[in-house]
Amino acid sequence: MMINACRILMLCLFCLIGNGALAQGMPAATSTFDQLPAQEQNLLKAAMGLWPKLDAKAQAQLRAQARHWLQLSPAEQQTLLLKQRQWDSLSFAEKSRERSRFAAWQSLGTIDQAKVNAAYEQWRLLPAEKQRALKAKFAQQLPEYQQAWVLGPSLGKEAQALQDWLLFIPQEQIRPWLMVLRQLSSEDRIKLVALGKHWNQQQRDTFRTRLLSAPDTARTDMVQREAIK
């Protein structure tokens, strides 16, 4: 079990039970691996050689994962190991889709996350037969309909209009790009949609990267300048 636990800690940050568990009581980063408690060293031994090269945030996240694992009951550890085996069995395309969905979840604000959690709790209380029926119905929907649900209660309403701006996004840009879209005003998003309809994919990719690298305060002006050209 220890080998599998190490794989979970090193490979799948989002397979742990919620980001909240990592954010609460996150231990301070330690530059020297042998300064870690013995139990943490044992779980994180796969990272020992890389430890001095990791930044403070990465060290703290790995330590938080290790501490979280140690606090789990044997049954909870087995559940997590099962999730890891299920993840390993997914195809590359399936893993990519799940990473994208997780990035979309991370980009949600607290209000939208609360709405999604409330909807999930309502679904969880339904009879198993009703749950399966709803899952099957969702699986039969068009991709753009499913995408609207992934984007959450607020931005999901504009999923079809924003479709051109949601294609072929590099994995590392998905979360920050969705956060930018949420931060822009509805007027700015309307202008962005209009621009996207006149641009090819390369032009959209270039402008998306420019927006991501720009300060928050400059993005509205950038969109407006492009809109009046």
Please check whether residues 143 and 160 belong to one and the same domain: yes
Given a contact cutoff of 8 angstroms between Cβ atoms, the answer to whether 165 and 192 are in contact is yes
Please check whether residues 22 and 116 belong to one and the same domain: no
Distance CA 157, CA 162 (A): 10
Distance CA 221, CA 191 (A): 11
Please check whether residues 10 and 28 belong to one and the same domain: yes
Long-range contacts of 109-112 (CB under 8 A, 24+ apart): 109/154, 109/182, 112/152, 112/153, 112/154
Output the six-digit token pair for 165: 């701006």
Count of domains in the chain? 2
Output the six-digit token pair for 197: 């309809």
Which of 49, 64, 88 is the endpoint of a domain? 88
Backbone torsions φ then ψ of 64, nearest 5 degrees: -65, -40
Given a contact cutoff of 8 angstroms between Cβ atoms, the answer to whether 204 and 169 are in contact is no
Backbone torsions φ then ψ of 142, nearest 5 degrees: -65, 150
- The lowest-confidence range among 11-15, 64-68, 105-109 is 11-15
**pLDDT surpasses 80 at 228:** yes
Nearest-Å Rg of the Cα atoms of the chain is 21
Please check whether residues 100 and 133 belong to one and the same domain: yes
Please check whether residues 174 and 206 belong to one and the same domain: yes
pTM equals: 0.61
Average pLDDT over residues 160-171: 88
The whole-number pLDDT of residue 68 equals 87
Please check whether residues 23 and 102 belong to one and the same domain: no
- Buried/exposed code over 140-156 (b: 16+ C-beta within 10 A; e: otherwise): eeeeeebbbbbbbbebb
**pLDDT surpasses 50 at 11:** no
Torsion over CA of 190, 191, 197 and 202, rounded to 10 degrees?
A: -120
Residue that wins the pLDDT comparison between 142 and 182: 182
Which of 88, 106, 128 is the endpoint of a domain? 88
Distance CA 220, CA 59 (A): 36
* Predicted confidence (pLDDT) per residue in 197-226, tens digit: 999 999 999 999 999 999 999 999 999 999
Which of 50, 72, 88 is the endpoint of a domain? 88
Domain, as residue range, for 120: 92-227
Nearby residues of 104 by Cβ (< 8 Å), 6 or more positions away: 150, 151, 152, 174, 175, 178
Nearby residues of 69 by Cβ (< 8 Å), 6 or more positions away: 5, 8, 9, 16, 43, 77, 80
Please check whether residues 52 and 140 belong to one and the same domain: no
Residue that wins the pLDDT comparison between 26 and 212: 212
The residue among 169, 176, 172 whose CA lies nearest residue 147 is: 169
Please check whether residues 105 and 41 belong to one and the same domain: no
* Residue 203 CA from chain centroid, whole number: 25
Tokens 């140690």 map to which residue?
Answer: 70
Backbone torsions φ then ψ of 29, nearest 5 degrees: -70, 150
Please check whether residues 69 and 57 belong to one and the same domain: yes
Please check whether residues 113 and 80 belong to one and the same domain: no
Residue that wins the pLDDT comparison between 19 and 119: 119
* Residue 184 CA from chain centroid, whole number: 20
Please check whether residues 54 and 111 belong to one and the same domain: no
